[in-house]
Structure formats: structure tokens, C-alpha cells
Amino acid sequence: MGGHYEKGMYDQLMEVMARLDAMEDSLHNEKREHKEDVDRLNKKIDSLTEENQLLKDDNARLRSIINNDSSNTSRPPSTDQKGGKPANTFNGRKNTERKAGGQRGHTGTTLTRSDIEEKIASGRCRHEIRTIGRVSGQDYVTKYVVDLNVEPVITEIRIYADENGNYPIPVQYRSDVTYGENVKALAVTLYSEGVMSNDRNGELDLSEGSIYGFCRKFAEASEASRRHLEEMLLTQDVVATDATTVTVNGEQNYIRNFSAEDTVVYHAMDSKSIEALKGLYHFGTDHAECNVHIIRYLRKNTEDTKNRWSGEMISLLCEMNKSRKEFMAQGHEAMPAGRITDYEEKYFSISTAFALAKK
């Protein structure tokens, strides 16, 4: 009987242990399944987090693009259309709340009576007299009005025959009607610099062919001068350049200028890329953008990131430019070395703040 009891107890123990093993296996399976679920959820969270960051980046990028205008990028003012306002409304100038015109204390350049009397005496200006009141032997008060009188003038040139019955007609008068030098000069100026339409010439009745002919002859006559100016630019240590958008036969083109202190050359270009620029001039290994463009980029950085360093850099650049102009107005060719050193220290201090902001 004792043997059966012990066997029964053993069987029960084995049965309990088997059930415990089964429960342990079940717990292990559930644990593994839970771990797999947690892993899947973590991966899903990571994926959603990454997707959320991408959406944030896209949102910031699109918001930055929407806020772009000519005051914070290199885009031309003609692209500014914010708030339904017309183009050229936005620029980099700060509102000083000062009235338009010369400010109090500003040195004026008003013409004086002696200036006008000198012009009259020199014969450079036509002198006319107009009276107000009854002319008598009494004293009068003189006031001067400087104005222009632009009107078409037709000069009839009469060429008489010589003793042999021949008419010595100069080559410039081969046609019955020709245009004078003043008309040619004005047409070239208005066409090339004023960008005036060909058909706006009133009583002169200039044809497009005539205007193009004037411009072509002027270009040929100025070839030597232009080559001389270009040679002067090529000898400069620093040359400034910028491009202005123009429309040619409905296509966007550019007028690019190259300038030094007292020399400017203009070139027509169909692109303002670096490659197109290299096709005109070899401008060396170093090049930089002007401070006006840099200030736009700094302003854009301030708007997008709220960083302080970019605003401080704008203030520094403006301060340096103002100081340079003041010293030049005093007759100095450059700022004192000590002032330049101070500005360099300020520049590197702000640059350090920029480097820390990037980390």
C-alpha cells in the first residue's frame, strides 16, 4: 500500500512539473510575442518620428520659400508680390520715419545767383529776358529760371553750283533728308540707356532701321574706347560685377556690368551663370558677393532661425560701411589701422557665435 501511495505522489509531482513546464513554455512564447510586438511598435514609432521630422523640415522649407523676396534673397524686386502689393514694394531699406528729402543740417547744392550769371556770361546757356509789370526807368528785381527747350529743328542746307556747274555736296548730305548729330546721339542714349520703345519719337518719324543704324555706327566708333576700358579692368586687383534682367524679343536676357573705381563696361548676356561669366573674363581664383547680397542672406537667416548672430553681423557691416564713407568724406583713402583691427575683432567674435550656433 505504501508503494502505491509513493507512486501516486510521484505521478502527481510529475504531472505538476509537466504543467509547470507547459506554463513556462507558454509564458516564454507570450513574452517573445510581446517582445516582437514591442519591437514592431518601436519601429513604427521610429518611422513616424522620422516622417514627422521630414514633414517639419518640408514645412520649414516651404515657409522659408514663401517668405522669400528681394529683401532677403538675390531675387529681383520684380518678383515681389506679397500681400497683393505691386512689385518693387519690398527692399532692404529700414524705415527711419524721417521725412523725404534733405535732412536738417544736410549741406545743400542749390544753384546761386553767381552760378547762373557765370553760365550766362560763358555763353553755354541761351539767355532770355521776360518782364513782369510795366517797364520803366525804375529799379527791378531779378529772378532766374533754369529750364530746357527741346524742339525739332529742320535746317535747310542750300548748296550752290561752282564755276563748272557742279554741286559740291558733302558725303553726309547724299540723301535729300538726313538726321543731325543731336538726333543720333539722343536716339542712341534713349534706346540703350533709357530703354525707350522705337516708336516713341513723335515728329521725328525715326524708323527702327535708322535707330539700329545709329546704334551700330556708335558701337563701331566706340570700339577702341571699349577695348581700352576692358584692358583697364583686366589690370585691376578687384572688379565688381552685377547683372540686370532685360527682355529681348520676349526672352529673358541680362545686361552685366563690370566696374572698378572709375571704369564701367556693359555686356549683353543670355545667362548670368558662372560659366557665361567665365566666357567674358577670367576673374581669377577668388570672388565674393557684395555686402548688399550678404545682408539679404543674413536677414533671411534671422527670419528663419531667430539667431542673434546674423542680426549682429548686419549691424556690423552697416557700421563699417558708414565709417568708411565718413573717412573718405574727410579725404582719407582708408580707415585707420586701429579701427580696422577693432572691426576685425568684432567680425571674428560674431563668426564664433555662428560656429557655435551650427553645432
Co-location of 317 and 283 in the same domain: no
In a domain? residue 108: no
Co-location of 297 and 354 in the same domain: yes
The pLDDT of residue 197 is 67
Residue 221: which H helix or E strand, with range? helix 208-221
The pLDDT of residue 90 is 44
Co-location of 6 and 50 in the same domain: yes
Please state the domain count of the chain: 3
In a domain? residue 167: no
The pLDDT of residue 319 is 92
Edge-to-edge strand ranges of the sheet holding 264-269 = 240-248, 251-259, 264-269
CA separation for the pair 138, 34 (Å, rounded): 117
Co-location of 261 and 281 in the same domain: yes
In a domain? residue 300: yes
> Is-contact 254 244, C-beta < 8 A?
yes
Residue ending a domain, choose from 66, 99, 121: 66
In a domain? residue 333: yes
The pLDDT of residue 79 is 63
> Is-contact 206 199, C-beta < 8 A?
no
Cell of 27: 509564458
Co-location of 245 and 283 in the same domain: yes
Name residues of the chain where pLDDT drops below 50.
Answer: 84-91
In a domain? residue 298: yes
Domain that holds residue 307: 291-358
This prediction's pTM: 0.49
The pLDDT of residue 86 is 46
CA separation for the pair 15, 9 (Å, rounded): 10
In a domain? residue 211: no
The pLDDT of residue 89 is 43
Co-location of 337 and 282 in the same domain: no
The pLDDT of residue 49 is 84
Q: b/e map of 184-198 (b: 16 or more CB within 10 Å)? A: bebbbebbeeeeeee
Co-location of 300 and 352 in the same domain: yes
Co-location of 274 and 297 in the same domain: no
User: pLDDT tens-digit profile of 218-247?
Assistant: 889 989 998 898 888 888 888 888 888 888
Conformational region of residue 346, where left means phi above 0, alpha means psi within -120 to 50, and beta covers everything else: alpha
Co-location of 295 and 315 in the same domain: yes
Give percent of the chain with pLDDT exceeding 70.
80
In a domain? residue 259: yes
In a domain? residue 73: no
